[in-house]
Amino acid sequence: MTETKQFTRFEKSQVINTAKVLKGFFAKKESLQKKIDELKKEMLAVDEQQKRWEAPIMDLLGGHRLEEVVEYKKELQPSGKYATKISLRYPETVLPPVAAEPECPTHEFGDDFDEDRNADVDEDMPGEFTEVPAEHEPEQDSAGFSTEDGLQEGEPAELAEKIAEDDPFFVG
């Protein structure tokens, strides 16, 4: 169900004045969104054309794009004009180097790669190690209720909440 709200004169005035101020922002936002949509379409068209020209070269470059491999530099000519020089970023290998993964030492089963290391025994703590159960299950009465919450057998949980609210000394 939707409620209808009755605005006061003051509230109506606030809404209308704010709308007047924001009118220009809404128009600007709409025109920018149109420009963004046009630029996205143009970007997709340029990218498609680039992929068509670049496809045979990408096979040669092992899937790398020209933008990753080629570098454009502007050089000043003796005539005073600038010329663009195209060079490979990786002239030795043509392809960008792959980051070398650090080698992990491999150990065969039974290798003792740290001979002077003892078993993981905590020698600082005296006494014996006892294993703690992974999950504590609360005790239950015959009706299946937990006995840890202080209720008697068969006593409903609502009663315990009422007791907790009424008794300032109740610890639960």
Query: Could you tell me the residue ranges of all domains in the chain?
Result: 7-60, 65-95
Q: Mean pLDDT throughout 27-42?
A: 97
Taking the alpha carbons of 107, 111, 114, 120 in that order, is the dihedral positive or negative?
positive
Q: What's the pLDDT tens digit per position in 98-153?
A: 666 666 655 555 555 555 555 555 555 556 656 656 565 666 666 666 656 555 55
Kindly tell me the burial class for residue 132, based on how many C-beta atoms sit within 10 Å of its own C-beta (0-12, 13-18, 19 or more).
exposed
Torsion, CA 144, CA 147, CA 148, CA 152, rounded to 10: 130
Per-residue pLDDT at 87:
83
Mean confidence (pLDDT) of the chain: 75
